[in-house]
A and B are shown apart, each in its own frame.
Chain A
């Protein structure tokens, strides 16, 4: 009887299990959230696998292998170090100095072999350097360096001397850099202490677990040489991480050393939040100082990384206004706002006939150029028929770029000649002055736009006969004079550029011509230097001006068979949406 019960129960169990295990063939629809598809710092990446030197390799092969292996950051360059003689100290660490080459060095030449010693010469094209603070500087030139090698007692060749006196230098190809390093933004405060300024740096991806720690350490180390002096950090000097950033279930813990007590918690939190939101695995985070959790005002102990919108580098977005009014110059000579696809006149009279008008962010006044671009006018108020006043008149043979306002109401305009340029600055209520230090004094400038953070400025400058998009920074020298310079090229993918605008703090909208293209088209150009993407499809005629603002459609002023038109994308949220030109107007602009 017992055995019978047993078997029966077992049988039922098996039958029941088999009966339940079916795949559903119907049922209700289950929805899911759309995946966030933004460019993330911690996206999948690719690592190169280095090989150890083989005993039979000669000096040239050892150098080739070393150069290839140094592209791998695994285990603190463990494999690359096996190419070196034990006496050679070489420690690139996590933030190395990198010489960026255009391609891998293929054929090192052995220039001298004398018994146990050898010298190997490598040649190549150097594109630039990345300093140990992560700042990339373009410096195209030829590379010609030599490596010293020696034969060890075991009879194998090892590197004993490396070019340059930097003990941690790496020679990496552009591909290696793109693979092994990420461009990330560190956020620092603009001089107004309100707006954050992104500071793009190159950070080697050792692995994704240490990335948050690397990122915060880089933030604590301060801005790169490029932004140094132009921005401030809220972290007191010598603040450091007590231990690595610890992440548990989307919540990161940042434990700062004691020195951080002297800093402003809210401002430090804003910088950390904006810096860490680049990592998708962090949703919330907790700030600790000396192991004790500190709480920023109006925040919980764990703050979301998307807090501190008030410190956005794009400036504060006014409440209630979903997107800003675009201003255009109507075909019959008025300045109007774009209502749907029709221009609504606001300013008429002589003020309305100005070319390239720019409305101040506070809507108090506006500036424009004369038709020839040889005079800068300022008019107020932005309604009715105000009389424009001449602010500046260009010298012989020179003309002005489109005027640009920064958020504090300062007007910026560049006067330029074929081989010369000057930057004019007019703070609100004061006369225009020439900037004391202007980094592009010897070059022709085609466009100049101040970023919404007021610290960075994008220009189109003619370099070696080719217009190039560059980004510089606005700093105040200790004596109070203005220093606008340190212009760095953003991308080398365009062979021509006509106009640009800041789409948001990380992206420029550029009218330009890509290599191998014959037409001028709009592109989105990330400041980080990653690949540009073209915007929209369809014919645009001859685009001349571009306007962009965060969350607003990009507008293009174009001339097509003699007619001035303002074009927009049919569906602005879709970057592949075709261009349509429904408005007969020119020179679109956004106040911010």
Chain B
């Protein structure tokens, strides 16, 4: 029993919850539509305002009809009463009412009341103390309100008065509203009581028709409003869609121009604007193409003389000990190192121009990310030891297979690790690897100076340096992270940076397991656990995407 109750209660609660949810979602949907669509807003307000206007109008009309109806009824009733009073006066005069004569009079009055119950009659002899007069049919004497009696009692002879009240009856007949007119002649008080059923029915009918007409009218107005706004809103909506597509890069998008009205003018200006934009963007693209081509060409052209210079420099370097002047030997060394730097700079420039030209291709094969990480860490172990940093590895137990280009991923990882060692201030460097169903990620964490707000994005800019004061001689070419990012993007992956001044920084590489698949999330957090707060996370995420 109680279990059943509980179950019932639970199901009821669940049902209520479902209703509540449905309601809330409906409200939310409605609100969203209201907010987003001019048409919905205009139709709603038209509905609302016209409903108010129609309601006021209807109430006014009803009031008019009802008062006209009642006026007519009262007039007719008073005439009837005057007639009845004249009859009573004729029959009874002012003589003391002898029973049978009063009887005959009430019989005559009754015969006019009719079986359909057009009205009821109540007559009383104020001098009679043993009974309170006569009524026709089932009418109860209480139907004549006390206030009307009092009024008549104090009124001069021949006066008449009327009021509205409730007619009650003996038996099962239900009481109904009625008009009561009363008059006095001599010692007799005569009341006519008119049921207002018929009038009530008329009013109800009129009211119903008015309500029906009002509803139809309001709906009609709403339909008109919907139609009119549709004519205005549709082109606006088309323009909005066009602008959206334009913004998405489809520069050939144009609006259709129809007619010569304001909307056509809007469409024409929009199209002009789109054409201009397209032209300018085309010019810019061409220009950038030329520049890239120039860089690529320059790099290539520099290569041949550089090779010759290199051969010469190598010779000078190998024979540096033979120079008498140690300064010349030192210059040869300097020349050698700067040449190496120049070469790598040239290689990076070529690589990045390859990316810019879209000539970079992915040579994907299925590899275990752990192996790649171990290899790269092994490569830079020496550098790290020299800087006093220790590389800590956090690798999962199972293989993290992904379709990647070995060369490019190794380059990215090397870049990140070299950066971490260089900026790590001798602290530990943590390299973590993780994988989930769709993606693998590698994060490189250092505990160096960290990044200032906004620098998370800037680190990937070409030739950006964390500290401008730092000599150009140290560090890489300034293109490493840019190339790494291009490489990551070539995989369809992300390369993101997080950092806080004094707390170090973390770089995260996230790659899809299948080359070219879209990346939805990363198995590793960008912000290392126990560092930072929510704000920079969001900032960096936005920047990363």
Contact = CB atoms under 8 A, between A and B. Distances in A.
A513 interface: no
A65 B228 CA distance: 80
A543 B90 CA distance: 38
B171 A3 contact: no
A46 B107 contact: yes
A9 B115 contact: no
B137 A173 contact: no
B111 interface: yes
Contacts of B252: none
A259 interface: no
Contacts of A115: none
A207 B131 contact: no
Give the interface SS of chain B, mostly helix, strand, loop or mixed: helix
Given A10-B53, A44-B110, A44-B115, A49 B221 contact: no
B240 interface: no
B426 interface: no
A1, A2, A43 pick with most chain B CB within 10 angstroms: A2
B82 to A, nearest CB: 21
Given A13-B213, A175-B100, A208-B138, A6 B131 contact: no
B220 A9 contact: yes
Interface residues on A, range: 35 or more
B293 interface: no
A210 B228 contact: no
A114 interface: no
Contacts of B131: 48-51, 65, 68-69, 71-72
Given A2-B46, A5-B224, A42-B115, A13 B217 contact: yes
A539 interface: no
Given A46-B110, A47-B135, A13 B57 contact: yes
Contacts, number: 116
Interface residues of B, number: 46
B335 interface: no
A9 B130 contact: no
Interface string A12-30: 0110010000000000000
Interface string B136-149: 11111100000000
Given A2-B42, A9-B217, A208-B138, A46 B170 contact: no
B173 interface: yes
Given A3-B49, A6-B53, A49 B115 contact: no
Contacts of A148: none
A64 interface: yes
A17 B100 CA distance: 54
B54 interface: yes
Interface in B103-134: 103, 106-107, 110-111, 113-115, 122, 124, 129-134
B225 interface: yes
Contact of A207 (B45, B50, B111, B171): B171
Given A51-B131, A209-B172, A45 B42 contact: no
A44 B221 contact: no
A515 to B, nearest CB: 15
B99 interface: yes
Interface string B448-484: 0000000000000000000000000000000000000
Contacts of B173: 207, 209
A51, A72, A103, A210 pick with most chain B CB within 10 angstroms: A51
A344 B50 CA distance: 88
A1 B228 contact: yes
A301 B50 CA distance: 54
B169 interface: yes
Contacts of B531: none
Interface in A168-210: 173, 175, 178-179, 206-210
Contacts of B140: 74
Given A13-B57, A207-B171, A209-B171, A51 B132 contact: yes
Given A9-B221, A64-B130, A209-B173, A47 B136 contact: yes
A44 B46 contact: no
B46, B130, B172, B217 pick with most chain A CB within 10 angstroms: B130
A39 interface: no
Contacts of A72: 131
A316 interface: no
A49 B134 contact: yes
Nearest to B106: A46
Contacts of B247: none
A44 B114 contact: yes
B70 interface: no
A258 B50 CA distance: 64
Given A1-B228, A51-B130, A103-B99, A44 B171 contact: no
12 contacts: A2-B42, A3-B49, A6-B46, A9-B50, A44-B110, A46-B106, A47-B135, A47-B170, A51-B130, A103-B99, A207-B171, A209-B138
* Complex A-B, nearest 6 residue pairs according to Cβ-Cβ distance, in ascending order: A207-B171, A68-B130, A49-B132, A49-B141, A68-B131, A209-B171
Interface of B: 42, 45-46, 49-50, 53-54, 57, 61, 99-100, 103, 106-107, 110-111, 113-115, 122, 124, 129-141, 169-173, 213, 217, 220-221, 224-225, 228
Interface of A: 1-3, 5-7, 9-10, 13-14, 17, 40, 42-51, 61, 64-65, 67-69, 71-72, 74-75, 103-104, 173, 175, 178-179, 206-210, 280
